[in-house]
A and B are shown apart, each in its own frame.
Chain A
Amino acid sequence: MYNLLPFNFTRLSNSEVLVNELGDMIIAPNGTVDAVVNHSLPSNDLYKTLVANHFIYEGIVPPLIDVYALRLRTKKCFLDDFTSLHIFVLTLRCNQNCVYCQASSQNEDSANCSMSKETMDASIKLMFQSPSKKLTVEFQGGEPSLMLDLIHYAITEIEKVNETEKRTVTYVLCTNCFNLTDGLLELCQKHNVLISTSVDGPEWLHNKNRGRTDSYQRVVANINKARAVLGFDRVSALQTTSELGVNYPLETIDEYVNLGFHSIFIRALNPYGLASQNNDWKQYTERFIEFYKKALDYIVEKNKQGVFFVEEFAVIVLRKILTPFTTGFVDLQSPAGIINSVLVYNYDGYVYASDESRMLAEAKDYTFRLGKATDDYEKIVCGDTAKQCAKVWANECIAGCSDCALKTYCGADPVRNYSTQGDMYGYRPTSLLCKKNKAIIEYIISMIIDRGDEVLPIFRSWLL
């Protein structure tokens, strides 16, 4: 006789996929859940597996109840330290004109769209009120490299405060690498600044997206220059799948491999800024899912040929499925990453709940504006806006998510719900974010079911 522990299930690749609260996953033949629930499971090997993996237990209390509780806490340990990622949007000015720009960028010589030193001072003060021992300072734009003086000022001020605060501070510069000056690289070298840049795919595709004929050449030259000065692995790249790029998964992967990167983060467009003029998000989402699957298959092939190359979104999902650990990735978290893991200090002097939140503000929607940078810390992180978000930021307690077997692997996103569906709670049956995340997570699980022996050693090598 046995008792049940909380778990959920779904059906994939002609199997039942059982997932418990810890994210531990069991692949079992059809009919298993029915037998488990009806207490008619025979004492076979599957029975032992279900007991050992915390799905069922014998006796009054689960023998490993304390282990379970500790592991449950570990899975949510990204909450322990509160906000660790602090994004500073230095300016909206930019030196490129990307077709999919998500940040409503302005011309290089535009006025009144850059952060003042007063705002920077107040933002730094707020950041250091976060209890997190580790702080990641991310400079964004527009194009933050146009604001060398302000970056220099920010780092100097942060270092000054940190002499007494003694936090571990990591700096990231999100730049298009179009114009990396020697002065900027010198600053990066001195303060160990990581460069996060972006390449869209092959030269012709990249140039077309960037609205310039020389973008690719300059970006690649600057990536190599940055690698030479800062160290090869101090430069990473994020990819964005444009409406054109969505047709070229293999070419995109090849480009990243050829540029010497060991990983790619495959990202879909966001429905913000200029990109929201795109009128068929449903169709784009479906094409993106196909793009992702083809790209992931191709990456697995590359690995089989001995090329170590990682897809970062898959890594986040796989870490949740295959390991007892968690991830600090803000877009796939419950409670959501907004406020809990990220705060955005915008050039306009206000603090926002996330990167997407400040992009909404460019369309004059200030729903996720938490307060002024000069406000009290408590008002920012525990204010009315934060409280409204908190009601709907856990997928454990919103319709459509709470009954989803994949919720431990996914996350909640009130900002995206609001921007695409008009309210923070959201409606999962038409949510394209739900559709996309579910499709990708299910695809990864199907790979494990159908081709486990082949893909698991590769996936595990990505998690080390």
Chain B
Amino acid sequence: MIHRALNIESNDNSLFVTAQCNNKCVMCCQPPTQCDDIEKYFIQNIELIKSAPKGLKNIGITGGEPTLLGDKLFEYIRIIREYLPDTSIHILSNGRIFKDADYTHKLKDAGGEKLFVGVPLHSDFINDHNHIAGAESAYEETITGLYNLASEEICIELRIVINALNYSRLPQMAKFIFKNLTFVSWVALMGMEHIGYAIKNQSTIWIEPEQYSTQLSDATLYLSQVGIPVSIYNVPLCLLDKRIHKYACQSISDWKTLYLDECDKCSVRSDCCGLFATSHRIFKGIKAL
């Protein structure tokens, strides 16, 4: 993992806190390791936090699975709060640990306001979710975790990485979210990055945005119609139905955004997220609009 200084101009300032994970997601872009790396990263990250510009808007905590740090995660948060009191903290977690209500409460205690947790949902159907997450009880634990986060009034970003195993149920997932997870702050529907496990498992999980265009449109419009804020990450505008352009975000970290030569001719390039420079495969059908 490359360590970059925290930069006030960047849209992506994240602390990488461990490479370990208790899920083994089929499309993971950062395949987990088992080595005990928590202390090593902690020492480096604390320096980063201390030297960070005070006006930093947002700081991410990512991995691996940050909650595997246990109570050490709260130490991170307390230090961030001490040095960067106005910065919002965005934790990316599979949410399973939050099935423990006490742990969730401690997170709220440490983080207070301006705390966001991004949690992935892979499917509305339990077996598909668990299969994609590569863990037996992931679904129940994540959903219980989401309820616990909600009862602590912690903002939740629900993340759906679209792959070949879940794209066909995007509209049903949207309905499931409204009915069962109404409390989420927003839903992010995300294109896949072709890196990590996504390469290894590409024959079963890779899918082109062109192929899921209908389902993505239906899910996005549904969520919007029922009043759940929705965003699309990582899919260039030329691969999206016009009706859902307004939900697309500049989601790709500036340091890994790629535009093709074709994109130079595009009239909406400045509004487009572009492509992952880190991706080993480029989406089909990129064309200037």
Contacts and interface: CB of A to CB of B under 8 A. Distances in A.
When A and B assemble into the complex, do they touch directly, with CB atoms less than 8 Å apart? yes
Given A49-B172, A52-B172, A67 B143 contact: yes
B227 A464 contact: yes
B168 A64 contact: no
B176 A324 contact: no
A324 B150 CA distance: 16
A26 to B, nearest CB: 10
Contact of A324 (B124, B128, B180): B180
Interface stretch (A103-111, A348-356, A455-463): A455-463
A45 B168 contact: yes
B245 interface: no
Contacts of A71: 179-180
A109 to B, nearest CB: 51
Q: From A63, A323, A461, name the one whose CB has the most chain B CB atoms within 10 angstroms.
A: A63
Contact of A64 (B172, B180, B222): B180
Nearest to A50: B125
A48 B143 contact: no
A63 B140 contact: yes
Interface string B139-155: 11001100100000000
A254 B56 CA distance: 56
Nearest to B180: A67
A393 B252 CA distance: 57
A66 interface: yes
Interface residues of B, number: 24
A290 interface: no
B176 A457 contact: no
A66 B182 contact: no
Interface in B97-152: 123-128, 139-140, 143-144, 147
A45 B169 contact: yes
Contacts of B222: 460
Chain A at the B interface: SS class? helix
A323 B221 CA distance: 16
B147 A58 contact: no
B147 A66 contact: yes
Interface in A40-56: 45, 48-49, 51-53
Contacts of B268: none
Contacts of B41: none
A243 interface: no
A162 to B, nearest CB: 29
Nearest to A68: B180
A457 B169 contact: no
B79 interface: no
Interface in A102-143: none
Nearest to B222: A460
Interface string A323-336: 11000000000000
Given A66-B144, A67-B147, A460-B225, A48 B128 contact: yes
A65 to B, nearest CB: 9
Interface residues of A, number: 24
Interface string B208-229: 0000000000000110011100
B186 to A, nearest CB: 16
A297 interface: no
A289 to B, nearest CB: 29
B206 interface: no
B74 interface: no
Q: From B124, B169, B225, name the one whose CB has the most chain A CB atoms within 10 angstroms.
A: B225
Interface in A432-464: 456-457, 460-461, 463-464
Contacts of B139: 63
A464 B222 CA distance: 12
Given A24-B179, A48-B125, A324-B182, A64 B140 contact: yes
Contact of B125 (A52, A457, A461): A52
B178 A324 contact: yes
A70 interface: yes
A32 to B, nearest CB: 16
B140 to A, nearest CB: 4
Nearest to A70: B147
A52 B124 contact: yes
A253 B181 CA distance: 37
Contacts of B225: 456-457, 460-461
Interface string A304-331: 0000000000000000001110000000
Nearest to A24: B179
A89 to B, nearest CB: 38
A58 B147 CA distance: 22
Nearest to B221: A457
A411 B42 CA distance: 59
17 contacts: A48-B123, A48-B169, A49-B172, A51-B125, A52-B124, A52-B125, A52-B126, A52-B176, A53-B179, A63-B126, A63-B140, A66-B147, A71-B180, A324-B179, A456-B225, A457-B221, A460-B226
Given A51-B125, A456-B225, 19 more contacts: A45-B169, A48-B124, A48-B128, A48-B169, A49-B125, A49-B172, A51-B126, A52-B176, A63-B126, A63-B139, A63-B140, A67-B147, A67-B180, A323-B178, A324-B178, A324-B182, A457-B225, A461-B225, A463-B226
Interface of B: 123-128, 139-140, 143-144, 147, 168-169, 172, 176, 178-180, 182, 221-222, 225-227
